[in-house]
Amino acid sequence: MYCFFSIKTRSWLNILTPQFLLAMPTIYIFEMIHLYYNGDPGSDFGYLVVYLIYTLPVLAFAVGYMYVAPLKLLTEIKCETANTSAWAMAFLVTGLVLYLPVMMQFASDLFNPRAIYAATRSGFGPSYYGSILACYLFLILALFNASWGRKIKVLSIMFALVFAYLHGSKGQIMTVMFIGLLYFIATSMRRVKFWIVAILILAFGFFGAAAFYSMLKGVELGDLLLVMAGYSDYTRNGVMLIDSSRDFAWGRIFLEDNIFSRIPRALFPDKPKDFGSFALALQYFPESFYLDAGVPSFGAGAIYADIGLLAVPLTALAGFFSGVFTRTIMARLRMYRNPADFILLCFFCGIILIPIGAGNLLPEHIVLALAVYVISRRKVHRSGMVSVLQAGTDSVKE
């Protein structure tokens, strides 16, 4: 699908590249390596359902993106980006201030940030998650700041990488890298050849492996690939759920994930920890659950456990609408280059900026995008807006 999409769009670096880089190792390569060394733990039917839920939404996304025109109602919402230097620096300072107490409390672990990650699973939400969100917003506003040159933007990416590393999360490091990549895809009109993307894939693979290795202790370099392959466990966990023949929850998992995850524990001290998909973790992986240091995920299996085979067409339908909205957002970015649109683009491309554990975070990303729209929007005279719209129309036609 990725090859067909790249040929159709005449560029091997395109809107599917982030999804390709995210999915290819974790969903396909790592799982094949694990199965080769450890055998087949699940049924053919389980794997069929899981991979239908993985692949059909991507296919539907590509169809919606390629064959449905941008939604005119949304592209006509006018916006020109103001100078965001002050807000970028404000988010930078906010991130540092929020994370400073954590760095002071765990000063001895600054060179072992994975220990910080394990120790901050509960009770550090505003400091831990708020600081990395502020870092993402700083980076996005820095990239879309027309008054900052390329060197400052590169330095901003490097700072964000170091800051994410200090949080001890491999996913946050990769999120920073994907933000930089998606920014180039969204704002550049260049058609990139296959060999350049091949080098890019190798570079992402190298940095991803380096991030993995830096977070692990007592692992020999030769065993690194097998350890990384173990992180595809959510595919096997999903197959296990399907093979368990458990009763379907009929929406309860979805509702609990999307309600309880949004209620701060400070406001609801008695909030259960075993809600939604976490209840599945308690049932199948009780030791990990009670350690409170992160629980295994069930991937597509959690959707199946909720609504059965309806998960296949419903996820495909969601993928189609994601493709339609992504095409519209890309058109807006070419017209207005506003960071608020980029935040929504990140979400639809699988780059989650709000790092909480469960639920669909589209509402939060919409609110975040609206807030950034307010602080980054600049009013212009009518004559100026006409020229912007004309330029945007020409770029969409291309």
Tens-digit pLDDT profile for residues 128-138:
888 999 999 99
Beta bridge partners of 43: none
- How high is the pLDDT of residue 58? 92
Number of residues written out for the chain = 398
What is the rounded CA–CA span in Å between residue 44 and residue 339? 44
- How high is the pLDDT of residue 116? 79
Residue 101 phi, psi (nearest 5): -60, -35
- How high is the pLDDT of residue 121? 67
Q: Which of 91, 88, 193 shows the shortest CA–CA distance to 148?
A: 88
Residue 136 near residue 175 (C-beta atoms within 8 A): yes
Residue 12 near residue 344 (C-beta atoms within 8 A): no
What tokens does 324 get?
């339609």
Residue 15 near residue 62 (C-beta atoms within 8 A): no
Residue with tokens 């919409």: 366
- How high is the pLDDT of residue 178? 93
Decide: residue 264, CB within 10 A, 0-12 exposed, 13-18 middle, 19+ buried.
Answer: exposed
- How high is the pLDDT of residue 171? 84
Tens-digit pLDDT profile for residues 276-318:
777 787 777 777 766 665 677 788 888 888 888 999 999 999 9
| Cα–Cα distances in angstroms (integers) from residue 349 to residues 155, 175, 211, in the given order | 24, 11, 22
Positions in the chain whose pLDDT score sits under 70: 40, 121-123, 215, 217-222, 265-266, 289-294, 356-358, 379-398
Residue with tokens 């260049």: 190
pTM here is: 0.83
What tokens does 180 get?
């930089």
- Where are the alpha helices (H) located in 106-169, listed in sequence order? 113-119, 125-143, 150-166
Q: Which of 391, 388, 366 shows the shortest CA–CA distance to 378?
A: 388
- How high is the pLDDT of residue 270? 75
- How high is the pLDDT of residue 2? 78
Query: How big, in percent rounded to 5, are the helix, strand and coil portions of the chain?
Result: 75, 0, 25
What is the rounded CA–CA span in Å between residue 348 and residue 358? 17
- How high is the pLDDT of residue 36? 78
- How high is the pLDDT of residue 123? 66
- How high is the pLDDT of residue 317? 96
